[in-house]
Amino acid sequence: MSPRSPNVRAIRATAAGGPDVLELAELPDPEPAADEVLVRVAAAGVNFIDTYRRSGVYTMTFPHVVGSEGAGTVVAVGADVSEIAVGDRVAWSSAPGSYAELVAVRASKALLVPEGVSDQVAAALPLQGLTAHYLVTSTFPVQAGHDVLVHAAAGGVGLLLTQLAAQRGARVIATVGSVEKERLAREAGAADVIRYRELDDLTRDLPAEVRALTGGRGVHAVFDSVGKDTFDASLASLHRRGTLVLFGGSSGPVPPVDPQRLNAAGSLFLTRPTLDDHIATRDELDWRARELFDAVRAGALDVRVGATFPLADAADAHRALESRSTTGKVLLLP
């Protein structure tokens, strides 16, 4: 094989560490494998999981090109790909190396983007939208009459989760970190909003506020992506036989839990779900994506792109996400 000229700009993490380990690199054009499509990236999604992979919370090999989500236009297809053609617009949640001008995406994981959905909205939906969808449909099927607590409700997952839970008839109690985030959470459908950074003692005061809002009973489910800082308050905010859906650790990982705590606090359920297990088959991926895209096209789901950064400024995007200063989706534009 002849050596190929380096001409694709991409963001690489050079070692485990802070945002400074992200560097702009020039790499050879990727080539699609037989089951892949090659996509010119219009927008790459920035997700909290990218920070875990960069910082070493998740084991990774270095250097690696960061990112897994995006949307763009197909420029080449592998030999075995028949369902996607050059020129199609696609979006994806799981293509390693998506912080780049070009990325190879497995055709079995690529979603055709319908007309009426912009590239930026398409890039904002796959990871956080599919997550919000499986949480309210499969992990804790939310119904009318439920009281649910959504932490970080003005975040990427949070704004979508709040809308989907409220649309299914639940009363959503949201936690947020600022006045501006409170406004966004209310617009998304939260009935009550608690600015949890203003509480003297989160673990003591948050459950007290939640119980005051629910006639002393507590909520049927807590959707907790904050993790370490909120876990104890989440458990203490639940209704008898309520469900704690722990799906992230934006404040850090939760230490090991004694199952006896679930007994003592009212026969509680604790689950720690992940997206991959909810889009493992093409049928399930298509069902969830179709419902999301249909809702966007019908004007029923608002996808807020809170910030965009040039690809070269990926480190700034990570700093913003990790410093709690972002709302909704953060995108990189190559």
To the nearest whole angstrom, how small is the minimum distance from the Cβ of residue 82 to ligand NDP?
30
Q: What's the rounded Cα separation, in Å, for the pair 130 and 292?
A: 8
Longest dimension (CA), the chain: 71
Does position 129 interact with ligand NDP (CB under 6 A)? The reply is: no
Please name the helix (run of DSSP H) or strand (run of DSSP E) that holds residue 327, with its range, or none. Answer: none
Q: From residue 130, how far is each of 42, 141, 302, 333 by CA, in Å?
A: 20, 14, 14, 22
Burial class of residue 145 in the structure, from the number of CB atoms within 10 Å of its CB (0-12 exposed, 13-18 middle, 19+ buried)? exposed
To the nearest whole angstrom, how small is the minimum distance from the Cβ of residue 131 to ligand NDP?
4
Which tokens in the block code for residue 301?
């789901």
What residues form DSSP beta bridges with 40? Answer: 73, 102
Which tokens in the block code for residue 245?
């859906």
Q: Choose between 189 and 248: whose C-beta lies nearer to ligand NDP.
A: 248
Segment near ligand NDP (CB under 6 A), from 71-79, 138-146, 147-155, 237-245? 147-155
Segment near ligand NDP (CB under 6 A), from 25-33, 35-43, 54-62, 270-278? 270-278
Beta strands 89-92 and 69-77 are antiparallel
Q: Which of 71, 107, 149, 176 binds ligand NDP (CB under 6 A)?
A: 176
To the nearest whole angstrom, how small is the minimum distance from the Cβ of residue 140 to ligand NDP?
13
Does position 181 interact with ligand NDP (CB under 6 A)? The reply is: yes
- In order, the DSSP letters of 136-153 are IIIIS---TT-EEEETTT
Does position 193 interact with ligand NDP (CB under 6 A)? The reply is: no
- How many residues form the binding site for ligand NDP (CB under 6 A)? 30
Q: Which of 68, 98, 131, 214 binds ligand NDP (CB under 6 A)?
A: 131
Q: Choose between 15 and 179: whose C-beta lies nearer to ligand NDP.
A: 179
What residues form DSSP beta bridges with 25? Answer: 10
Q: Which of 60, 120, 59 is nearest to 89 (CA)?
A: 120
Q: Which of 70, 126, 158, 218 binds ligand NDP (CB under 6 A)?
A: 158
Q: Which of 16, 24, 49, 60 binds ligand NDP (CB under 6 A)?
A: 49
Q: Which of 140, 247, 293, 309 binds ligand NDP (CB under 6 A)?
A: 247
Q: What's the rounded Cα separation, in Å, for the pair 157 and 175?
A: 13
Does position 194 interact with ligand NDP (CB under 6 A)? The reply is: no
Q: Which of 67, 97, 249, 334 binds ligand NDP (CB under 6 A)?
A: 249
Q: What's the rounded Cα separation, in Å, for the pair 334 and 331?
A: 10
To the nearest whole angstrom, how small is the minimum distance from the Cβ of residue 214 to ligand NDP?
21
By three-state DSSP, how is residue 182 classified? helix
Q: Which of residues 208-237 bind ligand NDP (CB under 6 A)?
A: 225-226, 229
Phi/psi at 47 (nearest 5 deg)? -130, 155
Does position 47 interact with ligand NDP (CB under 6 A)? The reply is: yes
Does position 99 interact with ligand NDP (CB under 6 A)? The reply is: no
Query: 96 with 62: CB under 8 angstroms?
Result: no
Q: Which of residues 286-325 bind ligand NDP (CB under 6 A)?
A: 321-322, 324
Binding residues for ligand NDP (CB under 6 A): 47-49, 127-128, 131, 152, 154-158, 176-177, 181, 225-226, 229, 247-251, 273-275, 321-322, 324, 326
